[in-house]
Amino acid sequence: MQRVTALYLAVVTALAILPQSWSHEPVTRARTPIRLPDLPGYVTLKGDFHIHTVFSDGLVWPTVRADEAWREGLDAIAITDHIEYQPHKADVSTNHNRAYDIARGAGVELDLLVVRGSEITRAMPPGHLNAIFLTNSAALAVEGWADAIGAAHAQGAFIFWNHPGWEAQITNGIVRWYPEHTALLERGQLHGIEVANGRSYYPEAHRWALEKGLTMISNSDIHNALNLDYHVHAGDHRPLTLVFARERSADALHEALFARRTVVYTGDRLIGEARFLAPLFSAATRILRPQIQVRGTGQVQVQIHNDSDVDFRLERAGEVAELTCPSSLTLAAGRTVLMAVRGRNAAEPGTRKVRLPYLVANLLVGPDQPLEVTLDLEVTILPAAR
Ligand SMILES: [Zn+2]
Ligand SMILES: [Zn+2]
């Protein structure tokens, strides 16, 4: 009897000290949505259009790429194995269409858009270019680079220049635009450019995108298993291209890429044209009670909510007659923060709209050019206390 009691106590004690998760299945196949708002008339698709698998120099099977993307909250991926570089060819098929064909089934199962692509892998110039929305990758396996790009173009592909600032393909640290790129542009065979690739941002590519009317693209160019390079469960994310599409479909994605409706999302930065960044900021943020009353130099705490995954780092860009406001303020991702404003003694009594001017340091409309925004309040200035 005593032995049974002792055994019972041992079991109860063991259960008590086991971790909570012991009785639950760990949630491994779960998707974490990326919180970035849709824009008026468009859905915001999150895409990575530069991904490698074992079918070139990647270390991952194609279906795993679909799983990784789904879990991270992406809507679309392109598998873009190198045409000209297949270091695993002794072990894996050299069929250039095979990686896509395998990943596509996983994409259908997960409701993830998987796009057929390839990386045309040449010396500089023109360097490496991705062609996506291909119909047959094998047609790109030809000798001359111009013929390879021509073959992609003939299939209606969206073609972009990869990692223009990659150290291995630049000399003396200078990122160059070559006459070959001009020729491609003039032939209608260059549509986009990677402004960011992996952890790198290329200000030159950013400038060229604006000057030459190229779609801004940002991709992981991932070769490893995603979790080896990005701590996605600790707030990290792979670089993404946000695509503002009319609907969540491959056709709409294709149309939006050609129409240059993209924003680059890399680290805590969003890079793109003001016509997208401004509504994105507006849709993501909300002043909970924009009507305030101030008397004299009295202080009011304004609450601002940020419904997105991005911290918005605000820097004051000017002064207004009615109020003083903080010189810098971070609207933390997913949180409501306080902004202390104070009245100015000299302000005339009455009610009016006041727009507090700020720059968003991590939203770039050009290299070193932050987005201008205003925080809009309706301010009632009360007469000074008697
Ligand atoms: Zn490359
Ligand atoms: Zn690559």
Is residue 216 one of the residues assigned to a domain? yes
Are residues 254 and 314 located together in one domain of the fold?
no
| Averaged pLDDT for residues 44-60 | 98
Is residue 69 one of the residues assigned to a domain? yes
Buried residues in 275-305 as b, exposed as e (16+ CB within 10 A): ebbbbbbebbbebeebebebeeeeebebebe
CA distance 51 to 48: 7
Per-residue model confidence as pLDDT tens digits over 289-318? 999 999 999 999 999 999 999 999 999 999
Ligand 1 centre to CA of 374 (Å) is 40
**Total number of domains constituting the chain:** 2
At 23, the pLDDT band (50, 70, 90 cuts) reads low
Domain stop point among 267, 295, 322: 267
Which protein residues have their CB within 5 A of the ion that is ligand 1?
A: 128, 162
| Averaged pLDDT for residues 67-79 | 97
CA atoms within 13 A on the CB side of 280: 33
Are residues 257 and 293 located together in one domain of the fold?
no
Are the CB atoms for 194 and 163 separated by under 8 Å?
Answer: yes
pLDDT at residue 222 in the model: 98
CA distance 198 to 219: 6
CA distance 257 to 193: 11
- Residue 251, strand partner residues: none
Owner of token pair 């009016």: 352
| Averaged pLDDT for residues 33-44 | 97
Ligand 1 centre to CA of 26 (Å) is 37
Ligand 1 centre to CA of 122 (Å) is 9
Are the CB atoms for 54 and 60 separated by under 8 Å?
Answer: yes
At 100, the pLDDT band (50, 70, 90 cuts) reads very high
Is residue 303 one of the residues assigned to a domain? yes
Residue 121: which CATH number? 3.20.20.140
| Averaged pLDDT for residues 132-146 | 98
Are residues 363 and 236 located together in one domain of the fold?
no
pLDDT at residue 1 in the model: 47
Are residues 220 and 262 located together in one domain of the fold?
yes
Domain stop point among 218, 234, 267: 267
Counting Cβ atoms within 10 Å, is residue 379 exposed (0-12), middle (13-18) or buried (19+)? buried
Residue 378: which CATH number? 2.60.40.3170
Q: What percent of the chain has pLDDT over 70?
A: 93
Q: Which ligand is nearest to the CA of 118?
A: 2
> Residue 104's domain spans which residues?
31-267
Is residue 7 one of the residues assigned to a domain? no
Is residue 274 one of the residues assigned to a domain? no
Q: How far apart are the first and last CA of the chain?
A: 86
Are residues 55 and 154 located together in one domain of the fold?
yes
- Going by C-alpha positions, the residue among 161, 224, 168, 229 that lies closest to residue 195 is 161
Instruction: State yes or no: pLDDT of 247 exceeds 70.
Output: yes
Are residues 170 and 248 located together in one domain of the fold?
yes
Is residue 357 one of the residues assigned to a domain? yes
Q: Which ligand is nearest to the CA of 48?
A: 2
pLDDT at residue 10 in the model: 63
Ligand 1 centre to CA of 163 (Å) is 7
Are residues 334 and 371 located together in one domain of the fold?
yes
pLDDT at residue 305 in the model: 98
- Residue 164, preceding peptide bond in cis (omega within 30° of 0): no
- Going by C-alpha positions, the residue among 236, 232, 274 that lies closest to residue 359 is 274
Is residue 66 one of the residues assigned to a domain? yes
Is residue 273 one of the residues assigned to a domain? no
Domain stop point among 198, 233, 267: 267
Token pair recorded at residue 23? 């009785």
At 351, the pLDDT band (50, 70, 90 cuts) reads very high
Looking at the chain, the number of H-run helices and the number of E-run strands are 9, 20
CA dist 44 → 31, 247, 343, 356 (Å):
17, 9, 39, 28
Are residues 216 and 364 located together in one domain of the fold?
no
Ligand 2 centre to CA of 143 (Å) is 19
CA dist 327 → 295, 318, 324, 330 (Å):
22, 9, 9, 11
CA distance 101 to 131: 16
Ligand 1 centre to CA of 344 (Å) is 56
Are residues 36 and 178 located together in one domain of the fold?
yes
Grouping H, G, I as helix, E, B as strand and the rest as coil, residue 224 is coil
Are residues 104 and 202 located together in one domain of the fold?
yes
At 6, the pLDDT band (50, 70, 90 cuts) reads low
CA dist 191 → 40, 110, 168 (Å):
25, 29, 23
Ligand 1 centre to CA of 86 (Å) is 13
Are residues 65 and 189 located together in one domain of the fold?
yes
Are residues 48 and 188 located together in one domain of the fold?
yes
Ligand 1 centre to CA of 85 (Å) is 10
Ligand 1 centre to CA of 103 (Å) is 20
